[in-house]
């Protein structure tokens, strides 16, 4: 390969030029802060979603509100691959350091500006549009941030320690979560809910400017990556990184293998462990949000050191063994783990589902897709919609029995059967009364069958819940910790930034980032509280098969090539 020959022809240079230096800690810290920033911002949007919705999506019609609400969340994920291509190319042309100085700046400014953004009440429809644009800028910058940080740290790492050094980048994701969560909880406690909802929610976004300033100051003191500087001195830089990375099958095939044989599985496992578990506890197991957050944070704190452990271990036994083992375990254990989580978090619910299952008898063609992420859609056009809308809103697990067209829907709770109202035979006012009566009857039947309205705090097995989440998190850390080093080692140095960034951000931004929404939609559509797990299980299983067959082991490679 021409790249390898060009690098190895300089006889005075040792096999790998990136030896251990006194500034290793500064290199790791400066590079990791970008990942911390990324996750800090992401968790802020999640934690403050209700406040942001009230500020920026009030007053619009339902269709516009639906589109903008989804757009604000999804736009940052959707654009990440474009950012990876754009900034990856720049990183391979002009250098690692300057590129991720730019991405850090864009990411920080877009986060900071949310704190100043006028509300819908002040500037109308421009408010949610600007919010989406800021999310696009943030997502664009994130697309170039991780690849630059991973490449920079790996190219500074001494041989045999790339997995260990790059694993510190992954730990900062958890630190970003802690920072966002503790700041929001602290401000709500100190300010009171009314003041926080009015203007206090802006403070976490505004505070991010100080993190940005410190991050940029540290990064500006760093030198360029020794591997990039060596290529620059030799005149061996790529003149067309995009063409070399994606226009030549010899490299493109490894981009595809990296995506489908490593990163896709890591992405869905990661978002299952850190996001879907929280959603599951709150929305399905009916554990109060404060307790859910505390249990998740404890498990995350316990799991965080294992990022470093698995990074270190990958330097000893290889990246592939660890990532593939975790993907296989996830595919095999997520269903039993979440069923165990139901029993641990809300045993009354688990026993009710087991002893008094709920079924909906209706014609499938008369049932709408029960997915209402912003709470503004109405499902009252058919009896089936009315029946399923109540159960979906209540988070009740149910099965479906298909009947001929025209059948009036019925809900069966154990041995009790309740018929839903037929909208085609009633006026609007009468229908509203009948829906209320129906919902009251179903609610009463559920309570009598043992379905709790919320998890009993005295019955939550907290150690077991933490243990289950920790088990899932160990699969998260096992896939994520060796990933940066593996991606760096998989691609030639002259097109490394470009090549590794795209599969990472498709795997995490698309496969992983859309997991909570997709899994929730699957649960809402079927009524089965476990059905959404098929998404991560199938993706993790696919990754294991492709990775085992086609992903090469990389931990002994010389990354100067």
Tokens of 101: 């100085």
Do 386 and 315 lie in one domain? The reply is no
Contact 41, 107 (CB under 8 A): yes
In DSSP terms, which residues pair with 400 in a beta bridge?
A: 360
DSSP for 90-126, please give it.
Answer: HHHHH-HHHHHHHHHHHHHHHHHHHTT---HHHHTTH
Burial 121-142 (b: 16+ CB within 10 A, else e): eeeeeebbebbbebbbbbbbbb
pLDDT of 14 = 40
Report yes or no on 480 lying in a domain.
yes
Query: Per residue of the chain (561 residues), what is the pLDDT tens digit?
Result: 333 333 333 333 344 444 445 566 777 777 777 778 777 876 777 677 667 777 887 655 444 454 455 557 667 788 888 888 888 888 888 877 778 788 888 888 888 998 989 988 888 878 888 888 888 888 888 888 777 788 888 888 888 889 999 888 888 877 887 888 888 888 888 888 888 888 898 999 998 888 888 878 877 777 777 777 788 787 777 888 888 889 999 999 999 999 999 999 999 999 899 888 988 898 888 898 778 888 988 998 899 999 999 999 999 999 999 999 999 999 999 999 999 999 999 999 999 988 889 999 988 887 776 655 444 456 667 888 888 888 877 778 888 888 888 889 899 998 899 998 888 777 777 888 888 999 899 999 999 998 888 889 999 999 999 999 999 999 999 999 999 999 999 998 888 888 888 999 899 888 988 887 788 778 877 888 899 999 999 999 999 999 999 999 999 888 876
Residue in 282, 339, 321 with CA at minimum distance from that of residue 472: 339
In a domain, 386, yes or no: yes
Residue 21 lies in a domain: no
pLDDT score at 19? 45
**Within this chain, do residues 341 and 488 fall inside the same structural domain, yes or no?**
yes
CATH code where residue 421 lies: 3.40.30
Q: Which residue has the tokens 């307790």?
A: 291
Residue 27 included in any domain: no
Is 211 a member of any domain?
no
What pLDDT is attached to residue 561?
Answer: 64
**Which strands make up the sheet holding 410-413, listed edge to edge?**
398-402, 358-362, 410-413, 416-419
Last residue of a domain, one of 448, 473, 507: 448
Q: What's the confidence (pLDDT) of residue 63?
A: 42
* Burial class for 377, CB neighbours closer than 10 Å (0-12, 13-18, 19+): middle
| pLDDT given for residue 378 in this prediction | 62
Question: What pLDDT does residue 171 have?
Answer: 84
3-state DSSP percent of the chain in helix, strand and coil, to 5: 75, 5, 25
Q: Domain check: are 478 and 516 in the same one?
A: yes
Distance CA 422, CA 277 (A): 37
In this structure, are 293 and 434 located in the same domain?
A: no
In this structure, the answer to whether residues 398 and 490 fall within a common structural domain is no
Residue 317, domain extent: 243-354+463-561
300, 398: one domain: no
Q: Which of 397, 425, 448 is the last residue of a domain?
A: 448
pTM value is: 0.83
Do 492 and 347 fall within a single domain? yes
Note whether 305 and 398 are same-domain residues: no
Say how many domains are in the chain: 2
């Amino acid at each position: 390969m021409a790249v390898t020959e060009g690098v190895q022809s300089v006889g005075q240079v040792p096999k790998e030029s990136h030896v251990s230096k006194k500034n290793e800690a500064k290199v790791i810290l400066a590079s990791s802060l970008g990942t911390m920033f990324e996750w800090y911002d992401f968790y802020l949007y999640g934690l403050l979603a209700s406040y942001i919705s009230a500020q920026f999506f009030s007053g619009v019609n339902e269709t516009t509100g639906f589109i903008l609400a989804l757009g604000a969340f999804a736009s940052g994920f959707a654009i990440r691959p474009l950012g990876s291509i754009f900034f990856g190319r720049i990183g391979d042309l002009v250098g690692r350091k300057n590129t991720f100085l730019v991405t850090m700046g864009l990411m920080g400014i877009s986060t900071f500006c949310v704190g100043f953004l006028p509300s819908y009440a002040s500037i109308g429809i421009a408010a949610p549009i600007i919010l989406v644009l800021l999310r696009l800028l943030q997502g664009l910058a994130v697309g170039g941030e991780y690849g630059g940080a991973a490449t920079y740290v790996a190219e500074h790492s001494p041989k045999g320690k790339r997995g260990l050094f790059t694993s510190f980048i992954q730990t900062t994701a958890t630190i970003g979560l802690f920072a966002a969560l503790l700041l929001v909880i602290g401000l709500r406690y100190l300010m009171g809910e009314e003041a926080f909802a009015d203007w206090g929610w802006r403070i976490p976004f505004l505070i991010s400017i100080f993190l940005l300033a410190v991050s940029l100051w540290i990064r500006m003191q760093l030198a360029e990556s020794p591997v990039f500087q060596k290529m620059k001195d030799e005149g061996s830089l790529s003149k067309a990184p995009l063409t070399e990375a994606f226009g030549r099958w010899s490299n493109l095939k490894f981009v595809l293998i990296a995506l489908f044989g490593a990163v896709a599985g890591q992405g869905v496992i990661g978002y299952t462990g850190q996001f879907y578990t929280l959603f599951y506890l709150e929305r399905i197991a009916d554990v109060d949000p404060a307790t859910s957050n505390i249990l998740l944070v404890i498990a995350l704190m316990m799991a965080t050191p294992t990022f470093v452990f698995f990074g270190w271990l990958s330097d000893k036994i290889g990246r592939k063994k660890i990532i593939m083992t975790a993907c296989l375990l996830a595919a095999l254990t997520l269903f039993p783990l979440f069923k165990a989580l139901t029993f641990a978090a809300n045993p009354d619910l688990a026993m009710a589902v087991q002893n008094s299952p709920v079924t909906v008898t209706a014609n499938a063609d008369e049932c709408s897709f029960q997915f209402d992420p912003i709470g503004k859609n109405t499902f009252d056009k058919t009896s089936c919609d009315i029946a399923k809308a109540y159960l979906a809103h209540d988070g009740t697990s149910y099965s479906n029995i298909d009947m001929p067209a025209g059948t009036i829907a019925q809900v069966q709770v154990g041995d009790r059967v309740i018929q839903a109202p037929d909208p085609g035979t009633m006026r609007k006012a009468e229908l509203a009364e009948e829906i209320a009566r129906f919902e009251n009857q179903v609610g009463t039947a559920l309570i009598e069958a043992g379905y709790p309205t919320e998890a009993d705090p005295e019955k939550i097995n907290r150690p077991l819940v933490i243990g289950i989440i920790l088990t899932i998190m160990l699969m998260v850390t096992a896939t994520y910790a060796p990933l940066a080093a593996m991606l760096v080692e998989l691609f030639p140095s002259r097109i490394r930034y470009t090549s590794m960034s795209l599969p990472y951000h498709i795997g995490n931004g698309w496969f992983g980032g859309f997991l909570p929404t997709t899994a929730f939609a699957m649960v809402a559509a079927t009524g089965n509280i476990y059905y959404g797990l098929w998404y991560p299980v199938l993706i993790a299983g696919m990754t294991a098969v492709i990775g085992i067959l086609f992903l090469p082991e990389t931990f002994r490679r010389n990354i100067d090539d």
